[in-house]
Structure 1
Amino acid sequence: MAVLVTGGAGYIGSHMVWKLLDEGEEVVVIDRLSTGFEWAVPPEAELVVGDIADQDLVEATIARRNVDAIIHFAGSIIVPESVADPLSYYLNNTVKSRALIESAVRKGVPHFIFSSTAAVYGGKHGEPVTEDALTLPESPYGRSKLMTEMMLADVATAHPFAYTALRYFNVSGADPNGRTGQSTKGATHLIKVACETATGKRSSMDVYGTDYPTPDGTCIRDYIHVWDLVEAHYLALKRLRAGGESIVANCGYGKGYSVLQVIDAVKRVVGHDFEVNVSGRRAGDPARIVANADRARAEFGWGPRLDNIDTIVLDALRWEEALKRRNNG
């Protein structure tokens, strides 16, 4: 039996591959390498270069490797980009996910874990946000992910198929063992951008909006360490294999930091200042969103171990230095 990881050459996907291998799982990755890297896939995992919408390729891979579970990360993730180019997001995140789900059903794959997002909620909620809150996404990115959740729910009703949709909050940091991290050029994740600026890869960084209804005027987010996130995925997989029913669960820590607080944390950990500019708001960004993750704790037995903003920043900074050595070597 093997686990198929889509997008396994990317940021979160590569961490998932390492976690599965650490647990003794067989792993096959399908990734078209549009934003991921071949070197990010461990040699112990098989990499199939291709698109998840290529159903012949996907189904042949499922059959050849006897896949019993799919963990689906492949997709587009930049909110402002989705506002500017919504059709590409509905293609990559919704249409192609539909093809992947159909392939899973055709080949009898019983377990499916989906990389969803807190963007399905929008920002018009109190906090912390529970999974029962109204889904009011404010961007095509959020809507494209919510549509896939809807498809999964309908498919699980019609077929012998169980899924877990994990709604991520702001994923950050890197593998504590230094094996992988956020490596995409031009990434927009706040901690990634701040760490690039702190290490001299960028001359400065921007804060997008200081007039939000928050204590310091900048957006507030719930930042979760990527290694705690992939641990939640693995526990969700074990639950499905044990006969667990389909579920949607939040992945976050239940506390938020503003943009300025995060930048201050990076400056504190790195030990020096760097240039920060103020720009206008970006389209599609809610003012604040923080998770209630009680369901993941109760259903998966998930207990975060890296719930500290300085720890997240330190691991991210270490990865930036490792990436610099790789690129310069």
Structure 2
Amino acid sequence: MSWLVTGGAGYIGAHVVRALAEAGLAPVVIDDLSSGHESFVPEGVPFVRASILDREAVEGALRDNGVEGVIHLAGYKYAGVSVKRPLHTYAQNVEGTRVLLESMAAAGVTNLVFSSSAAVYGTPDVPLVTEDLPKRPASPYGESKLIGEWLIRDQGVATAETDAPLRHTSLRYFNVVGSGDPSVYDTSPHNLFPLVFEALLDGRTPKIFGDDYDTPDGTNVRDYVHVADIAAAHVIAAQRLADGEPVEAAYNLGSQNGLSVKQIMDAMARVTGIDFTPEVSPRRPGDPDRIVATGELAARDLDWQMRYTVDEMVETGWAARRNAG
């Protein structure tokens, strides 16, 4: 039996694929390569180039590969851009999830790990985010992820008394960084680590957006979690579902403490050996002082833990980016 990874040619998906293979759970990838890279898919892993909006392709991938479960990472992940492209965001993230659920039901596949997002919380007014915090997404992206969770929940309820009940969990996480494989790196044009790496490689000075926040060093504080830890949590969630073990409806994969942007910049300078003073730009509207999640539930059930220091996060990400040339 195998596990289908939607978006498995992307930065996070490619790490999940490798973690599945290492755990003896045969991965299969479906990805339309709109932001992923076929070179990120390991040799020997079945690869279907198709959109999750393509019902025939999705159902075919499930049936043809004897799939027992799905790890659903495919989607449009740019929160800021989603404000300008709401219809595209909803098509990819909401309709894509609906098509996937429909395909799973038709193929008799009953296990699903959903890659959700901390964006479902919006801008919390508490310093530490727990799973039961009210959901107030502040972008079409966050809204689409929350609707995805609702779709999955409702399908679980609808199938609960059938011969093929949907078993599922959603993993909500924040800023994913680093690399667990020198051939895979973050290629997003919007994430902090690749933005800093590209600036340093181009001889430009990285930027900080605001240094007057109500935090110890004046820069905002966020969760930064290593991609290998994220991948490991997805695999354990898949194993628990396959083994019939109980899972929560959702887990935060949070750091508990967070890191400031200045701490990230200091680590960038230390690890790369490039001495720089970040350029300070005005705050971006709506950026809160601090958003950090607890990972207590995930630690209890998914062996979630922060296994990398900030320097190791930077070091692994920098090495993978430089390896790409």
TM-score using structure 1 length: 0.92
The residue type equivalent to 1:62 in the other structure is L
Aligned positions, number: 319
Task: For 1:212 and 1:95, locate their aligned partners in 2 and report how far apart those are by CA, in whole Å.
Answer: 38
Q: Is the 8 A contact 1:5 1:70 kept in 2?
A: yes
Aligned sequence identity (%): 41
Computed over aligned residues only, the root mean square deviation of the Cα atoms, in angstroms, reads 1.7
* Aligned AA (2:238): L
Partner of 1:310, secondary structure, is: helix
Q: SS at the partner of 1:29?
A: strand
Listed as ranges, the matches of 1:184-203 within 5 Å are 184=188, 187-198=189-200, 200-201=201-202, 203=204
Where in structure 2 are there 5+ consecutive unaligned residues? 160-164
SS of the residue corresponding to residue 80 of structure 2 reads: helix
Which amino acid is 1:116 matched to?
A: S
Q: Report what 1:168 is aligned to.
A: 173
Name 1:255's counterpart in structure 2. Answer: 257
- How far apart are 1:157 and its partner, in Å? 0.8
Cα distance, 1:202–1:171 mapped onto 2, change above 3 Å: farther
Pairwise CA distance, 1:206: 2.5
Q: What's 2:242 paired with?
A: 241
Change (3 A) 1:90 1:183: same
State whether structure 2 residue 43 is matched by structure 1 residue 43: yes
Q: How far has the Cα of 1:164 moved from its partner? A: 1.1
The residue number in structure 2 matching 1:327 is: none
User: How far, CA to CA, are the matches of 1:273 and 1:293 in structure 2?
Assistant: 34
3-state DSSP class of the match of 1:227?
Answer: helix
**How big is each residue's C-alpha offset from its partner over 1:242-297, in whole Å with a ceiling of 9 and x where there is no partner?**
21345200112211112122111111111222363333334554432111111011
Matched AA of 1:236: A
Matches within 5 A, 1:113-262: 113-159=113-159, 160-175=165-180, 177-184=181-188, 187-198=189-200, 200-201=201-202, 203-243=204-244, 244-245=246-247, 247-262=249-264
What does the per-residue CA deviation read over 1:130-175, in whole Å, with 9 as the maximum and x for residues that have no partner? 1011111111111110110111111111110011100012100001
Of 60-69 and 78-87, the range deviating more from structure 2: 78-87
Quick one: structure 1 residues 204 and 128, their matched pair in 2 at CA, closer, same or farther if it must change by over 3 Å?
A: same
Q: Deviations over 1:48-82 (max 9, x none)?
A: 10100100111011111011110011111122101
What SS does the corresponding residue of 2:5 show, helix, strand or coil?
strand
SS at match of 2:116: strand
Question: The residue matched to 2:133 in structure 1 has which SS?
Answer: coil
**Over residues 3-57 of structure 1, what are the superposed CA-to-partner deviations in whole Å (9 max), with x where a residue is unaligned?**
1001111110011111111122222111000111111100121111010010011
Contact 2:128 2:256 (8 Å CA) reproduced? yes
**Could you tell me the TM-score, scaled by structure 2's length?**
0.93
SS in 1 for 2:185: coil
